[in-house]
Amino acid sequence: METNHPELPGLWLPLVTPFRDGKLDETSLHRLVAHYAAQPVDGLILGATTGEGLSLDDAEAQLLVSVTSAALGAAGRNIPIYLGISGADTRKIGKALERSAGWGMQGYLIACPYYTRPSQEGLFQHFSALADSTDKPIIIYNIPYRTGVNLGNETMLRLAGRTNIVGVKDCCADPAQSFDLVRRKPADFAVLTGEDAFYYSALTQGADGAILASAHVHTRAFAAIRTRLLAGDQPGALADWQQLADIPRLLFSEPSPGAIKYWLWRQGLIDSPEMRLPMVSVSEGLAGRIEQAIAEEK
């Protein structure tokens, strides 16, 4: 996989944000980052959907980047950090890019504007203006079932011509659109699936990698699937995926990242499964299913 952005292909983790007593839990965050620094992940996304980014203020987002950078440095792991940004006002997002420019992350994951449902030309001008607002690379986050608008492939390919628009987290939920984009994209534009349940199939159709919340659990096993496919071992990759396929279904059976936080808490990686409203912790039923899954691993 040749690319002018060699850090992009691979398995990226959209890291949860640990909270305790209403505050960002720096101790748990450091422990969490140290754990994943020892795992085969190729990059971290902070403060996006899985990281409950909409509930973070600027000071917390900056602290999130700072603690993560320090923890990676202490672990001797040099992997890129991208910060999640979202909103429906191009000017406000541009100002957020300016405010955060010196925080220390390498790039941004920017979601399509939500609720306003702009036209394709509006989406093109929106992301073009944001690309003009920063020198850092941008991964577009296309997730129409959350934002209400789908960034079509023609528009995506126009944006891929911008030097610092380097890829997409693809959650369009349309396999035909995803395959068409992979087939037509330029070599230096990365398509990273964000659909956990379609991880294996996306890779077999040519996706460059994934931004995968489920990879908080069994990280090495998720990474091994891509490694096997790159080595030409599709039967082995399929066998591995068949062993993992129930994990995304379990972790997304209630709104994410509740189940992931509960699992990490039970593993001792974070000190609390606390969420911020309007997100709430998992139900007793799902907690029981997670307990059973953890017990079956022992």
- CA–CA distance, 111 with 45 (Å, rounded to integer): 13
169 has catalytic annotation: yes
Detail the residues annotated as belonging to a binding site for pyruvate: 50, 211
Q: Could you report how far apart the first and last alpha carbons of the chain are, in Å?
A: 37
Name residue 165's amino acid. I
- CA–CA distance, 159 with 165 (Å, rounded to integer): 7
> Which runs of E-coded beta strand occur in the chain?
10-14, 19-20, 23-24, 43-46, 81-85, 107-111, 138-142, 165-170, 190-193, 209-211
261 has catalytic annotation: no
Name residue 228's amino acid. R
Catalytic residue among 36, 82, 108, 169: 169
Q: How buried is 279 (Cβ within 10 angstroms: 0-12 exposed, 13-18 middle, 19+ buried)?
A: middle
Q: How buried is 166 (Cβ within 10 angstroms: 0-12 exposed, 13-18 middle, 19+ buried)?
A: buried
Catalytic residue among 36, 141, 199, 262: 141
Catalytic residues: 141, 169
